[in-house]
Copies of this chain bind each other. A is one copy, B any other.
């Protein structure tokens, strides 16, 4: 990726402590790297706060820290991931994303050209998701006090769902829809981290998923709950919803798509793909009579063209799965994490 800059960026330039400060050197980094890509009337990086007109009503507000290692992986990088993750959290609250803020913590010595790549990737992801970067901050820490770059993002959105989209809204009988195959983001990051040769490489599924959500809401689907399938994978998010909603969830293993290459990498690494993170997949809980309509809407969008009905909600608690050979087993919450620093 290249970024057009008023001052050419030398591949020999590295981020210095002074780039995180308040002096001329820091201003030059902003002018060189950030403004050409992210500049907009709200994002004057010198001001304390952006201001914007908003419609009255309910606002959604979310934050996430991104510490993915390595910062670049097949199908994305920490910059696009920060935009997608934030847009998706807003969408999962039934909100139309408006804008994001980004706070960078950069390790001294990080290549300025890599920072420019990340900022370009942020710009592209934000454009595609129709959100603006409204506020930003940059801090630089000494060598050995970070791992290249961390980005914390916050997002604001306009809630467009008339009813709360929450685990507590889930009802026995609801259908569970999954927007596509699972495990690709985790597999992409792990192969990049471990230097595994996979040909062709497994691309992360990292993407913004607000469009199918907004379409369902606009077309009158009574969405009870939404959750993006991130840390801990499908099994974990279903357990969280079952626990918070006080209900049980049953899914059918054959309905859950896992690509062969992802399954192979997971097997190699000793991971269960049902616990591996996605960054462009979500589950939707809708009343059974609306499941076909919701499925049709979701499949209209490329990002959720692989949507499948994978199960249903029951009275009770916990998550069970009927395997390919017809045996029911409990999908439990793991004690720790299979994969640290996946997002």
Question: Contact residues of A with B, CB < 8 Å?
Answer: 16-18, 20-26, 46-67, 88-90, 92-95, 99, 101-105, 134-142, 144-147, 150, 152-157, 159, 164, 166, 226-228, 230-232, 236, 240, 244, 333-337, 340-341
Contacts of A89 in B (CB 8 A): 48-49
Residue on B nearest A58 in the bound complex, by CB: B51
How far is A174 from B18 in the complex, measured between Cα atoms in Å? 32
Residue on B nearest A104 in the bound complex, by CB: B65
Q: In the bound complex, do residue B49 and residue A61 qualify as a contact, i.e. CB atoms below 8 Å apart?
A: yes
Q: In the bound complex, do residue A63 and residue B335 qualify as a contact, i.e. CB atoms below 8 Å apart?
A: no
Q: In the bound complex, do residue A227 and residue B136 qualify as a contact, i.e. CB atoms below 8 Å apart?
A: no
A23 contact from B17, B26, B147, B236, Cβ within 8 A: B236
Q: How far is the CB of A225 from chain B (nearest CB, A)?
A: 10
Contacts of A58 in B (CB 8 A): 51-54
How far is A24 from B239 in the complex, measured between Cα atoms in Å? 11
Q: How far is the CB of A145 from chain B (nearest CB, A)?
A: 4
How many copies make up the complex? 2
Q: In the bound complex, do residue A48 and residue B337 qualify as a contact, i.e. CB atoms below 8 Å apart?
A: no
Residue on B nearest A152 in the bound complex, by CB: B152
Q: Assess A56 versus B59: contact at CB under 8 Å? Given A25-B335, A26-B337, A103-B65.
A: no
Contacts of A232 in B (CB 8 A): 21-23
Q: How far is the CB of A85 from chain B (nearest CB, A)?
A: 10
Q: In the bound complex, do residue A92 and residue B49 qualify as a contact, i.e. CB atoms below 8 Å apart?
A: yes
A56 contact from B56, B105, B134, B337, Cβ within 8 A: B56
Q: How far is the CB of A190 from chain B (nearest CB, A)?
A: 15
Contacts of A153 in B (CB 8 A): 103
How far is A66 from B139 in the complex, measured between Cα atoms in Å? 8
Q: In the bound complex, do residue A137 and residue B63 qualify as a contact, i.e. CB atoms below 8 Å apart?
A: yes
Beyond A65-B139, A67-B141, list 8 extra A-B contacts (CB 8 Å).
Answer: A18-B340, A48-B228, A49-B157, A56-B57, A61-B135, A62-B101, A62-B135, A65-B137
Contacts of A54 in B (CB 8 A): 54, 56-59
12 A–B contacts from the bound complex (CB under 8 Å) = A17-B340, A20-B337, A21-B231, A21-B232, A49-B90, A51-B94, A52-B61, A54-B54, A64-B137, A66-B139, A103-B153, A142-B340
Q: In the bound complex, do residue B22 and residue A337 qualify as a contact, i.e. CB atoms below 8 Å apart?
A: yes
Q: In the bound complex, do residue A240 and residue B336 qualify as a contact, i.e. CB atoms below 8 Å apart?
A: no
Contacts of A94 in B (CB 8 A): 51
Q: How far is the CB of A340 from chain B (nearest CB, A)?
A: 5
Contacts of A23 in B (CB 8 A): 232, 236, 333-337
Contacts of A53 in B (CB 8 A): 57-59
Contacts of A56 in B (CB 8 A): 54-57
